[in-house]
Structure 1
Amino acid sequence: MPYALRMHRDQGTGWTATGLRWQDGAPRLTATDGRERHDRPLADGTPVAWRITGPRRCTGAHTERGHRPCPHRATVPAEGTTSQCPPCQNADRGLQLARDRILDDGREYRLYLAWFAPGLLKVGLTATERGTARLLEQAALTWTFIAHGPLPAVRRAELALAHGRVARERVPAAAKYPAWWSLPAPGARHDALTAARTRAHRLLAEQGHDQLTPLPDHPVTDQVELYGLTDGAPDRYQQVKALTDGAHLAGRLRRPIGGHLFVDRPDGPPLLLDTRLLTGWTLHADPGATGCDGLTLLPRARPAAEQDALF
């Protein structure tokens, strides 16, 4: 087992996965043994060999004082991307913000536009102190900040741009995957985002969002190369839809794409794993593992190019 992902003291001691986080522009896999939290960097080509065991347990909540382990050690459903029990969801600061249960917290926020594919443009907000982590976590391919200000003002602007159909508030993960096969050229991505930014600034100026400070000249950032998608996603892969107790996962990682991992394996096409499915499960090093089993898989393939009609 490589040091980069050695999250155990011995082969019999497991670590509960708590997610993939981006810190200082780099992805890190996080885990806990119930007392300590650890994280390890994820690099292109890193080998992994895990035995995954349950039950799948709640990963706790992020509060003003930092991460709080689940006080009930509650179990959560084996399938799905939710790894928190209802009480921890209610206590989680990020979910409180997303559900408008925190109207103002005194911090500065930035409004952003994130491009995922032609026709898939998202507007969102993030605390200024978080830097670009939010854009990295959600696998934004191209993005820019367009304004900043207090939370209530930024939230009103976010809703205005969504209601004005400049961009949508949410882009589900399933809508992002097909775009990875055939991305427009960098210039086209840049032009699409800058055109949307112009529309956004015009609408906000017309509506008089005076508490916002616009950022009309903020640079456009393109993260396609960072995610290893310059040549697109693999032509064929299998998407992991669910894990089970006793599953095995072995192979070599490609560069993470937001919270997703492509895993190259010797006995089949690559796997695509949404790491939210991994959270709450216990990972054990399994150096002898060479294959993958105990996984529910969905085959995916690049659509065949349309052929011009002969007649």
Structure 2
Amino acid sequence: MHQDQTGGPTATGLLATGLRWQDGVPQLTATDGRQRHARPLTDGLPVAWRIAGPRRCVGAHTEHGHRDCPHRATVPPEGTAGQCPSCQNADRGLQLARDRILDDGRTYRLYLAWFAPGLLKVGLTAEERGTVRLLEQAALTWTFLARGPLPAVRRAELAVARGKLARERIPAAAKYPGWWNLPAPAERHAALTAARTRAQRLLADHPQLTPLPDHPVTDQVELYGLTDGAPDQYRQVKAVADGARLTGTLRRPVGGHLFLDPPDGTPLLLDTRLLTGWTLHDEPAAACDGLTLLPRARPTAEQDALF
């Protein structure tokens, strides 16, 4: 059974629209075509989903809120994109990412996020969103660098990236290996603090930018359940098919990624973007099925020495 926002159950399948963090709690969001539903994804939660097609566009986030796809378009079953081209063009987040919105009157914050040794990201987020963007991206350690209007913060983001202090974009697959061999919290803190000092020197005297030199460094490793790292072995879900089944027990979500312990014992890692646009039915199953899986294992010391 699915739980809606008022706590009432619905027996029908729901179209998955994504994973969002609200008040520090990750929630799987979905719609029945009339109202939106949200299901908290907590450590130890049992799930049993049948994934049914066709895979449909999940609509767009606009300045007026979420808009359902006016065409009820279908989207390709493979990949993480759950929007048709029309809704991609209308989506506010994608417009910002593609520099199609140059200024919207809001205040933005520039952040620096640490994902692994040598893996730093610089980005921006609307101040009104708080820390949600850092939770969504599975940032392990992060801090805010500055605040200001969008044009100033975007110029600062480009300056940090072009100065090769951090990247603008880091694909999800690049983050996974770092979960196996996390340095101690003090080392993560020191690495990010040193990078922040270099970035603030680079951004000194940038017009319309207000530095935030005393903003604390936040570590989210424990929140994600990665204190002891990722499982030594797991299977990464690369694709789902119509009729696939996901069953097992969830661990704490890591940004938009779910570790799930299935009945056969070898954990699965699922990027929840693979679920968007599919209809999820709560149905018991004895095993997972219909998934394309990639085995992943912690590198051994001997393997590390070769590279």
- How many angstroms does 1:293 deviate by? 0.3
State how far apart, in whole Å, the 1-side matches of 2:2 and 2:65 are: 29
**Of residues 283, 286, 297 in structure 2, which corresponds to 1:286?**
283
SS for the counterpart of 1:269 is coil
For residues 31-50 of structure 1, what are the alpha-carbon distances to aligned partners after superposition, in whole Å with 9 as ceiling and x for unaligned? 00111111011110000001
For residues 72-95 of structure 1, what are the alpha-carbon distances to aligned partners after superposition, in whole Å with 9 as ceiling and x for unaligned? 110001010000000000000000
SS for the counterpart of 1:87 is helix
State how far apart, in whole Å, the 2-side matches of 1:154 and 1:307 are: 42
Whichever residue aligns with residue 236 of structure 1, its letter is Q
Corresponding residue number in structure 1 for 2:291: 295
SS for the counterpart of 1:152 is helix
Count of equivalent residues: 304
Q: Write the mapping of 1:28-47 to structure 2, written as runs, cut at 5 A.
A: 28-47=27-46
When structure 1 is superposed on structure 2, of 263-272 and 193-202 the one drifting more is 263-272
Whichever residue aligns with residue 66 of structure 2, its letter is H
Corresponding residue number in structure 2 for 1:124: 123
State how far apart, in whole Å, the 1-side matches of 2:4 and 2:191 are: 38
For residues 144-193 of structure 1, what are the alpha-carbon distances to aligned partners after superposition, in whole Å with 9 as ceiling and x for unaligned? 00100000000000000000111110111010000001100000000000
For residues 200-238 of structure 1, what are the alpha-carbon distances to aligned partners after superposition, in whole Å with 9 as ceiling and x for unaligned? 010111xx3021000001000000000000000000100
Structure 2 unmatched ranges of 5 or more? none
State how far apart, in whole Å, the 1-side matches of 2:231 and 2:303 are: 21
State how far apart, in whole Å, the 2-side matches of 1:67 and 1:139 are: 23
Q: Report if the CA contact (8 A) 2:57-2:69 is conserved.
A: yes
Corresponding residue number in structure 2 for 1:21: 20
Corresponding residue number in structure 1 for 2:266: 269
Q: Write the mapping of 1:160-179 to structure 2, written as runs, cut at 5 A.
A: 160-179=159-178
Runs of 4+ in 1 over 3 A off after TM superposition: 1-8
Corresponding residue number in structure 2 for 1:9: 10
- How many angstroms does 1:268 deviate by? 3.6
Q: Report if the CA contact (8 A) 2:4-2:10 is conserved.
A: no
Q: Write the mapping of 1:135-284 to structure 2, written as runs, cut at 5 A.
A: 135-205=134-204, 208-284=205-281
SS for the counterpart of 2:19 is strand
Coordinate RMSD, CA, aligned:
1.7
Q: Report if the CA contact (8 A) 2:3-2:9 is conserved.
A: no
Q: Report if the CA contact (8 A) 1:7-1:14 is conserved.
A: no
Whichever residue aligns with residue 262 of structure 2, its letter is R
- How many angstroms does 1:117 deviate by? 0.3
How has the CA–CA distance of structure 1 residues 257 and 308 changed in structure 2, closer, same or farther, with 3 Å as cutoff? closer
Give percent identity, aligned residues only. Answer: 81
Q: Report if the CA contact (8 A) 2:49-2:246 is conserved.
A: yes
SS for the counterpart of 1:188 is helix
State how far apart, in whole Å, the 2-side matches of 1:7 and 1:259 are: 25
For residues 75-128 of structure 1, what are the alpha-carbon distances to aligned partners after superposition, in whole Å with 9 as ceiling and x for unaligned? 001010000000000000000000000000000000000000001000000000
Corresponding residue number in structure 1 for 2:64: 65
Whichever residue aligns with residue 297 of structure 2, its letter is A
Corresponding residue number in structure 2 for 1:304: 300
Task: With the length of structure 2 as denominator, give the TM-score of the two structures.
Answer: 0.96
How has the CA–CA distance of structure 1 residues 272 and 217 changed in structure 2, closer, same or farther, with 3 Å as cutoff? same
State how far apart, in whole Å, the 2-side matches of 1:307 and 1:275 are: 30
SS for the counterpart of 1:148 is strand
Whichever residue aligns with residue 250 of structure 2, its letter is L
SS for the counterpart of 1:183 is coil
State how far apart, in whole Å, the 2-side matches of 1:3 and 1:87 are: 30
State how far apart, in whole Å, the 2-side matches of 1:100 and 1:49 are: 40
How has the CA–CA distance of structure 1 residues 22 and 4 changed in structure 2, closer, same or farther, with 3 Å as cutoff? same
State how far apart, in whole Å, the 1-side matches of 2:102 and 2:246 are: 42
